[in-house]
């Protein structure tokens, strides 16, 4: 097995067992590797920690609570992201393609929406394999923005190579220094978040901050944002870490209590529109990853057209009541869920007087928060919800279920050794 593109954790294991049978497609978990992963689960190794917790507080909750400080540190990357923005402009870029897998794909979907609001450029988004398999070149000068927390996600590396082959400028946003994606892409901005748990938490919120800053700088460099608008957005972004800290202090206990009420649900349906379609998708993923509770995301009108037959006392909804164009139909979604007998959790801005009174449970974000900035805090809210659901349902929220060797084998079947 070549170690050229393997991440450090995989190289280290192979170096320790140089004559052992190496993982293969037919045998993804040889005996020696099974013994190693029984001691330290796969996703703990991927994140580079041997701190394996068996009870609350797990690592996830510590990583979640560390995010405000990390978000502040990302603000220091603004000059580097301004340089990247200027190079994109100097290259004549007019179209951006965003790509990633898992949470990075969700962040890419959000980025495609965000850049259409703050810049004059057109955008599209592909899951990494879909980009390599089905992307059609644009007539406009195009750049690929690839996201990968580890910097070694195989499909995203393939997407970057495919883009380069077709003459695209490629830029990576990652949370790992000296990674394979940095070697492949023309440009790279890395912020090592130091996350120790499996589910993407701080690696995601820090990249959201990077995307906000990059979009802001492209908007400034292209003249799409006038001076006062850019200054106001810059101040709002600078305030986000404080808002995140305030939210964690005010709502942590509330969310743990709500999770206790929802822990016996059979499924949860997340609903969000506009930029918070990302929040709904990421929220559903965080609940599934940490609690193994089946979850699905909808846009508001989609929920109303498609989900009514499945709502019940044991299938609740989580509605993101952002103040914006989706608000009225989000309110309808709350009313519809309750009419069908299902419990409803509403994530709203503090002071909301329409959706909040109608919901079964309420989580409030600090006021004011713009609809486009709400995903950064909604993400944290759903990380907490997933964490407490997992812990209260008797699962380890750190491990992405790789503390069970059958699921570790499943991970290594889906993602051959060292390719995630």
First to last CA, the chain: 16
User: In the prediction, which pLDDT does 3 show?
Assistant: 47
351 secondary structure, DSSP code: T
User: In the prediction, which pLDDT does 5 show?
Assistant: 76
Burial class (CB in 10 A: 0-12, 13-18, 19+), 37: buried
Q: What distance in Å separates the CA atoms of residue 307 and residue 176, rounded to the nearest whole number? A: 39
Residues 6+ apart with CB under 8 A from 345: 258, 262, 316, 317, 318, 319, 359, 360, 361, 362, 363, 385
Residues 6+ apart with CB under 8 A from 15: none
243-392 shares the fold of 67-225? yes
141 secondary structure, DSSP code: -
**Three-state secondary-structure class, residue 227:** helix
Q: What distance in Å separates the CA atoms of residue 72 and residue 43, rounded to the nearest whole number? A: 26
Tokens of 364: 């409030």
Q: What DSSP letter does each residue of 371-413 carry, written as one string?
A: TTTHHHHHHHHHHHHHHHHHHHTT--TTTTTTTSHHHHHHHHH
Domain spanning 243-392, CATH class: alpha beta
Q: What distance in Å separates the CA atoms of residue 379 and residue 377, rounded to the nearest whole number? A: 5
Tokens of 112: 């495609």
Q: What distance in Å separates the CA atoms of residue 102 and residue 97, rounded to the nearest whole number? A: 16
What number of CA atoms fall less than 13 Å from residue 179's CA on the CB side?
31
CA 33, distance to chain mean position in Å, is 29
Backbone angles phi, psi at 317, to 5 degrees: -125, 150
Measure the CA dihedral 336/342/345/349, to 10°.
Answer: 10
**Residue that is written with structure tokens 């409803």 in the block:** 344
Tokens of 337: 């869920």
User: In the prediction, which pLDDT does 31 show?
Assistant: 96
Tokens of 177: 């220094």
Homologous superfamily (CATH) of 67-225 is Glucose-6-phosphate isomerase like protein; domain 1 (3.40.50.10490)
Residues 6+ apart with CB under 8 A from 25: 416
Q: In the chain, what are the domain boundaries?
A: 8-52+409-414, 67-225, 243-392
User: In the prediction, which pLDDT does 18 show?
Assistant: 93
- pLDDT tens for the chain, 420 residues long, are 554 578 999 999 999 999 999 999 999 999 999 999 999 999 999 999 999 999 999 999 999 999 999 999 999 999 999 999 999 999 999 999 999 999 999 999 999 999 999 999 999 999 999 999 999 999 999 999 999 999 999 999 999 999 999 999 999 999 999 999 999 999 999 999 999 999 999 999 999 999 999 999 999 999 999 999 999 999 999 999 999 999 999 999 999 999 999 999 999 999 999 999 999 999 999 999 999 999 999 999 999 999 999 999 999 999 999 999 999 999 999 999 999 999 999 999 999 999 999 999 999 999 999 999 999 999 999 999 999 999 999 999 999 999 999 999 999 999 999 998
Q: Are 129 and 160 in contact (CB under 8 A)?
A: no
Q: Are 349 and 338 in contact (CB under 8 A)?
A: no
Residues 6+ apart with CB under 8 A from 369: 243, 349, 377
């Amino acid at each position: 097995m070549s170690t050229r593109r393997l991440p450090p954790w995989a190289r280290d294991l192979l170096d320790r067992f140089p004559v052992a049978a190496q993982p293969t497609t037919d045998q993804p978990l040889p005996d020696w590797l099974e013994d190693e992963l029984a001691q330290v689960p796969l996703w703990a190794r991927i994140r580079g920690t041997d701190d394996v917790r068996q009870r609350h507080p797990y690592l996830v909750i510590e990583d979640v609570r560390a995010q405000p400080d990390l978000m502040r540190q990302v603000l220091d990357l603004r000059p580097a992201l301004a340089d990247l923005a200027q190079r994109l402009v100097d290259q004549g870029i007019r179209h951006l393609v965003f790509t990633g897998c898992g949470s990075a794909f969700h962040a890419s979907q959000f980025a495609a929406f965000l850049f259409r609001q703050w810049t004059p450029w057109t955008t599209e988004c592909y899951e990494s394999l879909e980009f390599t398999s089905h992307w059609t070149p644009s007539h406009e000068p195009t750049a690929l923005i690839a996201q990968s927390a580890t910097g070694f996600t195989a499909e995203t590396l393939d997407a970057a190579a495919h883009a380069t082959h077709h003459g695209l400028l490629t830029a990576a946003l990652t949370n790992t220094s000296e990674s394979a994606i940095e070697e492949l892409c023309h440009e790279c901005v890395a912020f090592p978040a130091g996350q120790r748990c499996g589910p993407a938490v701080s690696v995601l919120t820090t990249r959201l901050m990077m995307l906000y800053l990059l979009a802001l700088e492209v908007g400034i460099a292209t003249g799409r944002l006038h001076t006062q608008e850019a200054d106001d957005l810059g101040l709002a972004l600078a305030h986000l870490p404080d808002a995140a800290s305030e939210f964690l202090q005010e709502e942590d206990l509330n969310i743990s209590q709500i999770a206790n009420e929802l822990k016996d649900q059979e499924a949860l349906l997340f609903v969000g529109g506009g930029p918070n379609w990302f929040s709904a998708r990421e929220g559903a993923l965080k609940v599934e990853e940490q609690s193994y509770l089946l979850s699905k995301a909808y846009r508001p009108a989609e929920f109303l057209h498609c989900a009514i037959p499945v709502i019940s006392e044991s299938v609740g909804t989580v509605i993101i009541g952002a103040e914006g164009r989706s608000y009225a139909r989000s309110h309808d979604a709350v009313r519809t869920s309750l009419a069908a007998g299902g419990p409803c959790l509403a994530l709203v801005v503090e002071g909301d007087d329409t959706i909040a009174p109608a919901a079964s449970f309420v989580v409030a974000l600090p006021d004011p928060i713009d609809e486009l900035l709400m995903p950064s805090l909604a993400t944290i809210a759903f990380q907490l919800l997933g964490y407490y659901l997992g812990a209260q349902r008797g699962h380890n929220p750190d491990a992405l279920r790789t503390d069970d060797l059958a699921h570790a084998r499943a991970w290594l079947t889906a993602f051959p050794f060292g390719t995630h």
